Amino acid sequence: MKRTRTMANWGNFPKMDAQEVDTKLFVKLLKERTATDTFIARGNGRCYGDASLNETIVSTLDLNHFIDFDAEKGEMECQSGVLFSELLEFLVPRGFFLPVTPGTQFITLGGAIAADVHGKNHHMEGCFSEFVLDFQLLTADGTIIRCSKEENADVFWQTIGAMGLTGIILSARFRLKKIENSYIYQESIKAKNLDEIFALFEDSKDWTYTVAWIDCLQKGKNIGRSILMRGEHATNDQLSKKQGEQKYLIPKKGKLNIPINFPGFVLNSLSVKAFNLLFYYKQWSRKKKFISHYTTFFYPLDAILNWNKIYGKKGFIQYQFVTPKETSKEAMREVLSEIAKSGQGSFLAVLKLFGEKNEKAYNSFPIEGYTLALDFKVNKELFLLVPKLDEVVLKYGGRIYRAKDSLSRPELTNYLTIDEGSFDSIQNKRIKNNL
Amino acid sequence: MIVLGSNSDVSRAFVELILQKEQLENLYLFSSNTEQTEVFKKHLLVKYNTNIEVIDLDLMNFSSFDFSSLNFDTVFCASGYLGKEGEDILERQDDNDRILKINYSSLVLVLNAISKSLIEKGKGTLIVLSSVAGERGRKSNFMYGSAKAGLTAYLSGLRNFLFSHKIHVLTVKPGFMKTKMTENLDLPKPLTISPEKAASLIYKGYKKKKNTIYIGPIWRLIMFIIRNIPEFIFKKMSL
């Protein structure tokens, strides 16, 4: 198949006309290519910004088959276009879970390796690559090579986190996590300001999963007002009788849908303020303990299909940075006050403490320190705000997540080390050429 | 269960759906590209507990096949070939030949052979995908449309013929579906459904023993209107 259409990732910004081909046609194109032709693999398009966009895009969604499941070893092998949601549907009833998952289950396995995704357990268990045993990589000369931490280890580590710039991942085998049921034992704790939330993260180091929702419109002494959420896979004796009867419950697919793009004015600083206020005061007591289903704990937004349309036609960006731990608090304070000043409220501001960096995974984004992920509606002011935020992140030695980048300065995203080749994206061209 | 055209997206969705709902002892996956079907078989074996056989069947070179040794009472047929579009439709001999064989002339011979062995078994259901394109020929794809029209007529006759043998025939008429077959076409989104949605509608029709279903139901109305446009207007239209 071959077609030209307007493409954009989950944030609907930026948009570009691109030719999309499936993997079968790609193999043909690869043979006939000229020196200047470049390609980039794309899975389910749940990244943001201009990652995975190029004039020619290779859709891996046709690589959607399972290959092997070994319950004894706790290993799974499948083609790279398989979605995490499909994996969970299969794995959870069999007592297994994904070792690492980002905040949506609608990403592909190939995308997870390309972005070396992280989750709420990064401080304990690292990125997805920690669990990858091997993968098959289709390279520019048309050969397929098997890469693991032992075999072709150089290509293996170069591909991890390299955003598809080394080739097309066709399939992968990875380790799974054993679970007793579908549920998470969760605690939510309110924090009045940055000092409190940073202390809470330190106190919660032994929890497998930690993340905080942060109200980025607060100013002055309230900067950093947030709710920390920490969790562990529940044991069976923690479940209620009803939950225990359906230990491995998989909920029906998301029913709520945003059918159309909301008009641009729906999201403004007032509506975001109201939302944030409600979210914070919805929880009355300082600390709450409860059992939640894994979907509400890991994927709260997946319940609303097409939630990206809330941001209207012009779309939105995600801005996710990390700064080294020593400087994180100052950096965070400066970034949050810039945002509060700009009034460009982010609905979803997520704060998380990363653990140590795996030095072998040199292309991966996470370094030890605090990371903040923000959503911003695309408008004129945003183009003034991003350079200001970039300035702060740069000053404190931080970096930006390529899977979400579209507007940041190249110094923040040029941490990849790769050989130039036939795989390239408009994002990478922008970064290389300092645009 | 026998599946014809096993590599199609709707076959895959239907097979997965039925395996989630029912226990099938044997599954026979027919296709002309068995390498691809083997990947599908592997996938199914990871997920479900059933015996699966991949069988090579090329409708472009079909002579005969003995279905009587196979253990099945349901048949799902999604064999189909859309062909190329364009002004040179009258000259594309090979492509037109392919359209006719895969959608009609070879396919009905296969369905005849399957029906014969179902009669011996004394029960069964044939689920066959035809198309709304068979309801009125249009200039953009009348080779495909006429082959599907033939298939639809064949199926209604076959249903009549097999009724006394307690064998049921379900004719499925999809409108626009988002599949490999249609990925080059720009289809209107509100009228286009996913293979998974199609599979679940087909499964419902199969369980309710429907004779003809449209996928999705809105196509019954659309085709009613299209069928009733007077020919002196229709012939001037660009459809």
Domain ranges of chain A: 2-60+418-432, 66-178, 183-411
Determine the distance from the C-alpha atom of residue A375 to the mean position of all C-alpha atoms in its chain, rounded to a whole number.
Answer: 13
Q: Where are the domains of chain B?
A: 2-234
User: Rounded to 5 degrees, what are φ and ψ at A131?
Assistant: -105, -5
A65/B39 touch (CB, cutoff 8 Å), yes or no: yes
pLDDT in tens, B36-86: 999 999 999 999 999 999 999 999 999 999 999 999 999 999 999 999 877
pLDDT reported for residue A351 = 96
Which residues of chain B make contact with A22, given a CB cutoff of 8 A?
180, 183
Q: What is the pLDDT of residues A138-179, one digit of tens each?
A: 998 899 999 999 999 999 999 999 999 999 999 999 999 999
User: Quick one: B47 exposed, middle or buried, by C-beta within 10 A (0-12, 13-18, 19+)?
Assistant: middle
The mean predicted confidence, pLDDT, of chain A is: 92
Which pLDDT belongs to residue A304?
A: 80
Per-residue pLDDT tens for A219-259?
Answer: 889 999 999 999 999 999 999 999 999 999 988 765 567 67
Q: What are the strands of the beta sheet with A168-175, ordered from one edge?
A: A66-70, A75-79, A168-175, A132-138, A144-148
pLDDT digits (tens, 9 = 90+) for B82-96: 998 778 889 999 999
- Entry pTM: 0.92
Task: For chain B, say whether A24 makes contact (Cβ under 8 Å).
Answer: no
In this prediction, residue A36 carries a pLDDT of 85
Q: What CA–CA distance (Å, rounded) separates A184 from A295?
A: 9
Confidence of residue A273 (pLDDT cuts 50, 70, 90): confident
Residue A389 has pLDDT above 80, yes or no: yes
Would the CB atoms of B180 and A1 count as touching at under 8 Å? yes
**CA of A274 vs chain B CAs: smallest distance (Å):** 34
Highest mean pLDDT among A303-312, B153-162, B187-196: B153-162
* CB atoms B184 and A68 under 8 Å: no
Which contiguous run of DSSP H or E holds residue A319? strand A316-324
Q: Confidence class of residue A345 from pLDDT cuts 50, 70 and 90? A: confident
A75 Cβ contact partners less than 8 Å away, ≥ 6 residues apart = A68, A69, A133, A173, A174, A175, A176
pLDDT digits (tens, 9 = 90+) for A196-212: 999 999 999 999 999 99
Closest by CA position to A398, among listed A297, A304, A311, A327: A327
Question: Which residues between 330 and 359 in chain A have a beta carbon less than 8 angstroms from any beta carbon of chain B?
Answer: none
Question: What pLDDT is stored for residue B2 in this prediction?
Answer: 98
Which of A341-355, A378-392, B143-157, B177-191 shows the lowest mean pLDDT across its residues? B177-191
Fold of A183-411: Alpha-Beta Plaits (3.30.70)
Verify whether the Cβ–Cβ distance B42 to A69 is below 8 Å: no
Contact A66 B43 (CB under 8 A): yes
pLDDT in tens, A106-145: 999 999 999 999 999 999 999 999 999 999 999 988 999 9
Q: What pLDDT does residue B221 have?
A: 92
Q: Choose among A3, A66, A68: nearest Cβ to B184.
A: A3
* Amino acid identity for residue B185 in this structure: L
Given A22, A65, A69, which is nearest B40 (Cβ)?
A65
A69: Cβ–Cβ under 8 A, 6 or more apart, which residues?
A75, A76, A77, A90, A94, B46
Tokens of B176: 């626009």
Instruction: Give domain B2-234's CATH superfamily.
Output: NAD(P)-binding Rossmann-like Domain (3.40.50.720)
User: Cβ B42–A66 below 8 Å, yes or no?
Assistant: yes
Among A332, A6, A398, which residue's Cα sits nearest to residue A191? A332
The alpha-carbon gap from A90 to the nearest alpha carbon of chain B, in Å, equals: 7
pLDDT at position B184: 67
Structure tokens at A413: 């995203």
Alpha-carbon span B36 to B81, nearest angstrom: 17
Residue B36, Cα to own-chain centre: how many angstroms?
19
End-to-end CA distance of chain A: give it in Å, rounded.
32
Task: Say which CATH topology domain A66-178 has.
Answer: 3.30.465
User: CB distance A3–B40 less than 8 Å?
Assistant: no
- A409/A414 Cα distance (integer angstroms): 9
Q: Is A370 left (phi over 0), alpha (psi -120 to 50) or beta?
A: beta
CB contact under 8 A, A62 and B42: no
Mean pLDDT of A1-18: 88
Q: Whose CA is closest to A136, among A166, A111, A168?
A: A168
Length of chain B: 239
* Start-to-end CA span in chain B (Å): 37
User: Which pLDDT belongs to residue B225?
Assistant: 92
B181: closest CA among B137, B125, B127, B133?
Answer: B133
Contacts of A417 (CB under 8 A, 6+ apart): A158, A362, A363
Do B175 and B222 contact (CB within 8 A), yes or no? yes
Residue pLDDT, tens place only, A63-103:
999 999 999 999 999 999 999 999 999 999 999 999 999 99
Contact A260/B at CB under 8 A? no
For an interface test with A, which of B17, B43, B45, B85 has the most A Cβ atoms less than 10 Å from its Cβ? B43
Q: What is the CA radius of gyration of chain A?
A: 21
**Residue A35: what pLDDT?**
82
